[in-house]
Chains A and B, each alone.
Chain A
C-alpha cells in the first residue's frame, strides 16, 4: 500500500492537511477523512458524477482523481455553496422546482449546474442539457432538473 503522503488541500475555503495513502481517491478523502458526506459515491465506475466537485474552479469527478493529486489545489463541495445559513441560488432552485426525487444525484447535479452557470449565466436549454450531460439521474427524466437550472439562471441572488 505504500507510505502515506502529506497533502494540503483547501476545501470550501479551509486548508486541510492530512497524510493519505497514494491510492486514496479524492472522494473518499472528502467523505471519510473530512466527513463531508454531501459528495456522494453513486457508481464507483466513473459513470454517474454524483461525486462531482470543483477543483480549481473546474467541475470534476472526485472518484476519478487521487487525493494526492489534489495537493495544493482548491476543492469546492456542495457543503461550500451555502453562505450564512442561506442556500445558494442553485440549491434554492432545485428546492423550488423540485429538481429531484430520490436525491442521490442531486449534489453532483448541483455542482455541475453551478459550474455551468459560472461560465454561462444565461444558457439555452440545449447548453444546459450538454452542461449536465455527465450527470446521471435515474428518477426524474431530467425535465425538472432542467427547469431548476433555468430557475437558478434567473435568480438575482448570486
Chain B
C-alpha cells in the first residue's frame, strides 16, 4: 500500500475519528523504513511508492497487539485536575462544575449513540467498535461525575453564610434548600 491508501484504510476503519495528515503518514513511513520495519517497493506509473512490511515489522506489530496500553502513557486527565483545583479554590461552585461537565458529556454520549443508531451493524463493525469505545469512556466519566456529586453532598456542607435566606424550615415544597451550594 502507498501512503494515500494507508491513510484511507486507517480512516475507514476508525470512522474518521482520528483524521491523519498525509505528511504525518509519510514521515512515519520513512521512520519505519529507517528502523527496518517496512521497505519500499518500486514506484507505480503514477509515481506512488507502495511499502511492504518486513519480518521485523511483523514481529513489532505482533508485540504491539499483544501488549496492553499502560494508563500512564495517556495524557493527564484535565477534568480530574480541574475538579481537584475547584474544590480547594474559594468561590468556585463545585457542584455546578460537576453538573455542567455531566450535561456536556451526556450530550456527547447522545451524539455517539446517534451515530451508532445510523451505522450498519453488519457492514461497519470496526467503526461501531470504535464508537463503543468512546461511548464506554464517556459513560465512565458520567459515572465518575455521579460519584463525585454524591461525595460532595456527603462530605461538604454549605457554609452558614450561604444559608441565611433559606435556613428556615421549608413551608413550601418549592424551596430548594438542598440545591444551595457552597460559595
Tell me, yes or no, whether A binds B: no
Interface residues of B (CB under 8 A from A): none
